[in-house]
Amino acid sequence: MVSEGMILADRYEILSRIGTGGMSDVYKAQDTKLSRFVAIKVLKQEYAENANFVTKFHAEAQAAAGLIHSNIVGVYDVGEDKGLQYIVMELVEGITLKHYIEKKLRLSVKESISIAIQMAQGLECAHKAGIIHRDVKPQNVIISKDGKVKVTDFGIAKAATSETITSNVMGSVHYTSPEQARGGYSDEKSDIYSLGVVLFEMLTGRVPFDGDTTVTIAIQHI
């Protein structure tokens, strides 16, 4: 159980919870060694207890830590303490693209293109390093208070087992590529397709395909 004031790894002081997702909770913390604020993503218990998932989670986090780009949320550290599996990331004060779209309903062509270009630049950096995101969606894009667009959660989707994907797919299936919908191999083009869906949503305020179940939505992408 994470609580305010808790110290992880004799270094990170938990200050407050700032977000939650299907697989993890996110906290604002103080790095007491480097005197800076960071974001710490802590895996929820059901995933932290899955040894296979944890191994992949650490491997993907280590790969993502090598990505240094202004349009990517930086990964600083990954570890385990007090039974908690966590990843330490750059703290970006801002709003997710999903919330931004919900707030504005539709974005202008100029703003949509600007955001898409910044996302593409971050993805290009990852692709050149051989890393595929696999879960590009507005929830994984943060717009900072100064307008900088940053993509986050690289590699987390790859770490997920089929069980974890099943529990989280509803939020991602709207952006899935045809090959992912078929259960096939993902590559750079998968991320580009998902980016196109995000651009469509920014311009129109809605996703191109919708339905009552994940299956009916996925089929429309094929």
Please give the positions annotated as active site: 135
Burial 66-84 (b: 16+ CB within 10 A, else e): ebebebbbbbbbbeeeeeb
Q: In 82-159, which ranges are E strands?
A: 84-90, 94-96, 141-144, 149-151
Q: In what order do the strands lie in the sheet with 12-20?
A: 7-8, 12-20, 24-31, 36-43, 84-90, 75-81
**Distances, alpha carbon 126 to alpha carbons 99, 151, 221, in Å:** 24, 10, 24
> Can you tell me the distance from the alpha carbon of 89 to that of 63, in angstroms, rounded to the nearest whole number?
13
Cα R_g (the chain), whole angstroms: 17
- Name residue 55's amino acid: T
Question: Do the Cβ atoms of 84 and 73 come closer than 8 Å?
Answer: no
